[in-house]
Amino acid sequence: MFLENTSRKGWVEVICGSMFSGKTEELIRRLKRANYANQKVEIFKPAVDVRYSESEVVSHDAHAIRSTPVDSSQNILLMSTNVDVVGIDEAQFFDENIVDICRQLADSGVRVIVAGLDMDFMGQPFGPMPALMATAEYVTKVHAICVRCGNLAQHSHRLTTENKLVMLGEKDTYEAICRHCFSQLK
């Protein structure tokens, strides 16, 4: 189909957690290691995410790697010809087809590394992330530190009253908090 080498075995890795937990930093670390190993790497992010850069995946601590912004998950498949590794950041912002796209890439021998929020600001599973985690061979859950009590944080608490699901923001809009602090806000 889009990859001729069928002797390789592909798989899907998911890096998930709350905001400020190091998901993108871990994605960048894995992709840079693949580059060092002379593997052909393509990196994608949703075109809507322009917080730090239009053409790079950038972590909150300013680590960056070149990427291709795409409007839909289908574009990832179209642009992943003859690659060894595909990286995808902010997967929660993609449509549900991202799960099938990752599966197709892995089935064709590509290592797929996906990072995204596992829960939205209301504490509910976010977009395609639960299905990605269920179909992945490897899932890494990373945690931030609760800004209120210092425990491990797993929630991205929104500091504004805006109720729309997708709202890009940083430390002025979100904070990482633990289960206990999150439940006290309900």
Catalytic residue among 25, 26, 42, 90: 90
pLDDT at res. 161? 76
Distances (CA, A) of 153 to 11, 34, 123, 186: 28, 29, 12, 16
Predicted TM-score of the model (pTM): 0.88
Angle CA 150–154–158, to nearest 5: 90
Side-chain half-sphere of 51: how many Cα atoms within 13 Å? Answer: 19
**What is the Cα Rg of the chain in Å?**
16
Enter the tokens of residue 178.
């633990």
Is 48:94 a contact under the CB 8 Å cutoff? no
Sequence ranges of the domains in the chain = 11-143
Place of tokens 């002025």: 172
pLDDT at res. 1? 39
Q: Is 90 a catalytic residue?
A: yes
Q: Which homologous superfamily does the CATH classification assign to the domain defined by 11-143?
A: P-loop containing nucleotide triphosphate hydrolases (3.40.50.300)
pLDDT at res. 2? 45
Residue numbers in the chain where pLDDT is lower than 70: 1-8, 49-65, 166-171
